[in-house]
Structure 1
Amino acid sequence: MRTRLYRNGVLEAEDVPATEISEYLRDEELVVWLDLGSPDEEGLALVADELGLHELAVEDAVDSRQRPKVDEYEGHCYLTAYSAVFHQDTFELTKAELGVFITDRAVVTVRPGEVFDIDEVVRRWDNQAHLAKNGVDFLVHGLLDHVVDSHFDVVEALDEHIEGLEDMVFAERPIDRDMQRRALTLRRSLVTLRRVVLPMQDVVTTVLRRATDPAMAPYFQDVYDHVLRVAEWTESLRELVATIRETQLSLQSNRLNMIMKKVTGWAAIIAVPTAITGFYGQNVPYPGFAAPWGFWTSTAVIVVVGGGLYLMFKRRDWL
């Protein structure tokens, strides 16, 4: 467990025993942050008793895989959000869940699996220490700002890879298997990102409405603007990936049609000498049978008809 105590906007102490949190909260000048990491039910129940947390909120914290949301209870609320990390080598997206209990003077973070990078949030708080005087709103803003910035980094990286995917579609000799794998993986990553980004609009709106310090309103509004931009960007990229996939299938169909036209054209040309030699190969008398001029006549017919078909198909762009 990690703890921090802020008194009137100044960091006063760190790593105090979690069992003493309720004692510190009796001092109305203190604001407390408690990070539980990935707690068991017993440890979370202890903190719930200390802070008077609702049993449904505690149940949501124990049971991960919640959707991004804000549940409001008497005296506190419970917030769920997900940060995201994009892997450049596999084009896959990893999300990290964060649960936050928010009271008037305390913020308790729960990180199932401890994948969420809480150290980056702490650095963000330290870099914006001038806002610490805003108490709980300052702590919540740092958490949400980190989450939304991670979404922004992911969607920006996805945009770059999708631009490369566009270039691959119109390459002279596209690598179909690699392009298909990349397109499907990017689309799956976008779907995952969309699931964690779109509900964040309601989350930030609720937090903005609950903010008690007017000085923090512009900062929460800035986070909300970023959420809207990421959501719109994600939707546009999702549509773009679908368009690229449809374009790829259309190009494949066109290439197949061109190949079929060429094969059919050459088959028609080859059919001419086959038909003529087959006719002259009959074991019965015919004009020119057993005569040199019959051979030369059939050869001339093959050349003329075959050449005529070739020129006609070439003019129609079938060959």
Structure 2
Amino acid sequence: MTYCRTRLWVDGVLKAEDFPLQETSNHLAERNALVWVDMCNPDHDVLCELAQELGFDQHAIEDTVAHAERTKATRYATHTFLTVYATALAPPLANDLESRLLLARVSIFVLPAGIVTVRHELDPQKPVFDIDEVVRRWDENADLLKMGPPALLHGLLDVIVDGQFDTIQQLDDAIEALEDGLFDDRAVTRTIQRSTYRLRKELVELRRVVLPMREVINTIMRRRAEHADTVALDSWYSDLYDHVIRAAEWTESLRDMITTVFETNLSLQDARLNTIMKKLTGWAAIIAVPTAVTGWYGQNVPYPGFQSVVGLVSSAVIIVLVSGLLYVTFKRRGWL
């Protein structure tokens, strides 16, 4: 089922909303008009019909319907095509090795008088990408809409980048929680290992969609410079580019951090194993004392105290004294 939403602004003022898709080309031809068309999980026929009406490149349509398309920006003769991903983290899953990262692909066609967004959501009732937040930001900065499609595009990308920031922050918090548990003697090593593996998997998936965003914003800014677009939005796009750079750098630092957590966990396991081995060795030495003494006194030959209470007392005293001496020595050295 296709979920469609449309809007028309004229000179930055909202004039129409939820008009039929068939009227899109007519509104695009109006003077000072700005059009937005949004489709969620569109039927292929509906998408092809709109593409034919608006003159979208066939390669862009193929990228829109293809699976696992990478983040990119491509310039065509009549429009610019972008593929970006909104991100979110799902609640903890039953399988703690399964990635919680949720991705929603957003394909964007930037036209001279509007934009068309095509969203792919697993569950349209619980979308990963909050399109209502995009509309709210457009309404809050209605004066910018007089500058045309670049203003719409900025608001859309800004929400996507903010969502990526939220995801990165949640992963950062999860990694910090792992660090706190590393030095907790009550922590379950297996749980830490599984959580570390899951976080590494989620970071790898996140990097694939966050890092290429730099090139996407670069392409948009170069195109604006080449077409001598209004400089009023330059500061907005510069701020957006700065956020993208920070998100990329933050993701890289988290990858280094989770690698450090993984290596530290292995080192701590080795250290704990060494401690256990020292304790076992110390107790084995203590236990060897009564074994040696009773073995000596158990020989089948006469010895001092043979068949006498003195022999029992002397062997018991030797066991207690030597075992106690070893225990005190090992305890002071931290072996027990």
TM range (shorter): over 0.9
- AA matched with 1:11: L
- Superposition deviation, residue 253 in structure 1: 2.0
One-letter code aligned to 1:147: I
Of 315, 319, 323, the match for 1:306: 323
* Match status 1:197 vs 2:200: no
Identity of aligned residues (%): 51
Tell me the equivalent position of 1:145.
158
Most deviating of 53-62 and 35-44: 35-44
Of the three residues 93, 97, 110, the one matched with 1:102 is: 110
After superposition, what is the alpha-carbon deviation per residue over 1:178-224, rounded to whole angstroms, capped at 9, x for unaligned?
Answer: 43333333332222222211010101111122233321111111111
Aligned pairs for 1:1-319 (under 5 A) are: 1-87=4-90, 89=92, 92-113=100-121, 114=124, 115=127, 116-211=129-224, 212-319=229-336
SS at match of 1:100: strand
Distance, in Å, in 1 between the alignment partners of 2:198 and 2:27 is: 49
Query: How far did residue 162 of structure 1 move?
Result: 2.5
- TM-score, normalised relative to structure 2: 0.88
**CA shift digits 1:48-87 (9 cap, x unpaired):** 1111111110001111321110011111121000111123
Which deviations, in whole Å up to 9, do the C-alpha atoms of 1:267-299 show, x marking residues without a partner? 111111112212222333334322333333322
Give the match's secondary structure for 1:111. strand
Q: Which letter maps to 1:160?
A: D
Task: Quote how far apart the aligned CAs of 1:88 are.
Answer: 5.2
Which stretch has the larger CA shift, 5-14 or 183-192? 183-192
Tell me whether 80-89 or 63-72 shows the greater mean CA deviation.
80-89
What is the Cα-based RMSD across aligned positions, in Å?
1.9
- The question of whether the paired residues in 2 share the 8 Å contact of 1:3 and 1:34 is answered with yes
1:82–1:97 Cα contact (<8 Å) kept: yes
Cα distance in 2 for partners of 1:32, 1:314 equals 79
More deviation, 240-249/94-103 = 240-249
Report the equivalent of 2:96: none
Q: What amino acid maps onto 2:178 in structure 1?
A: L
CA distance in 2, matches of 1:124, 1:187: 33
In structure 2, stretches of 5+ residues that fail to align are 94-98
Cα deviation, 1:118-149, whole Å, max 9, x if unaligned, reads 22211111111110001110111111001001
- Assess if the C-alpha contact under 8 Å between 1:40 and 1:62 holds in 2: no
Deviation at 1:35, TM superposition (A): 1.1
Q: Normalising by structure 1, what TM-score? A: 0.93
